[in-house]
Amino acid sequence: MKFVPYESRIKAGEILADFILENDTTRYNRINKKPDSFISFAIPNGGVPVVEGFCRKLKINYDLIIVRKIKIPYNTEAGFGSVTPDGTVLINNDLLYQLNLSEKQVENAIEITKKEIKERLVFYKKNFDLEETYQNLIKNKIVFMIDDGLASGFTMLAAIKMVKKYDPKEIVISVPTAPLHTIQRIQNAEVKTFCPNIRNTRWFAVADAYKHWYDIPEIEVINYLNKSNFYINNFD
């Protein structure tokens, strides 16, 4: 069956929820019976409209995981690792070896990334007592982790590493599109994956799975969050 590009990220989230219904009826029924035993996390910015469509359909709550790539000092469009909100660091050691950076350069890049995350936490009005927050949200829950797609998957792997620290019952990676080799890499982290559009091609871009692709501005993210019935900050 030929893949039809997603109309929008919101629609992609809805299709992702339907995909779970079609491929894992037991899990879908469990969500309907015990929605409080599930929690979703989105990686902003692109993951927010996807998780909004997903959670509207499944009637489960969500929060954000603000993951940032550790930028290469002389090429800030690329990264050699990722940092999560609680300070979890995941380094792409194969790439780092090729970059020949000094220990000081690596440390500085990580500290800059941690500072960026703190600024995002303030922007999204997040509690800085992160360990307690994540423990309460994650422990013994089935955790859906959502983005608008995966490329290398390294950012998601960092998020998985963080979530595992807080004793989830299960981690389920749910994304609208990804290359096959990345899905295989993610599955090596001992998580369940759902992805309606897995591409086994040499060249891959998340944008190709969408009819109208654009980078989500922060004002649009805030609008989604403020209007959401499922974003946990709105329950305070």
Range(s) of the chain covered by CATH 3.40.50.2020: 9-66+127-230
Topology annotation, domain 68-123: Ybab; Chain: A; (3.30.1310)
Query: In this structure, which amino acid lies at residue 1?
Result: M
pLDDT the model gives residue 234: 66
The string of pLDDT tens digits covering residues 133-145 is 899 999 999 999 9
Range(s) of the chain covered by CATH 3.30.1310: 68-123
Low-confidence ranges of the chain (pLDDT < 50): none
Span 9-66+127-230 CATH architecture: 3-Layer(aba) Sandwich (3.40)
Rounded to the nearest 5°, which phi and psi values hold at 203? -105, 135
For 156-210, the DSSP string reads HHHHHHHHHTT--SEEEEE-SEEEHHHHHHHHTTS-EEE-SEEE--SS--GGGGB
Measured CA to CA, the distance from residue 177 to residue 16 in angstroms comes to 10
pLDDT the model gives residue 42: 97
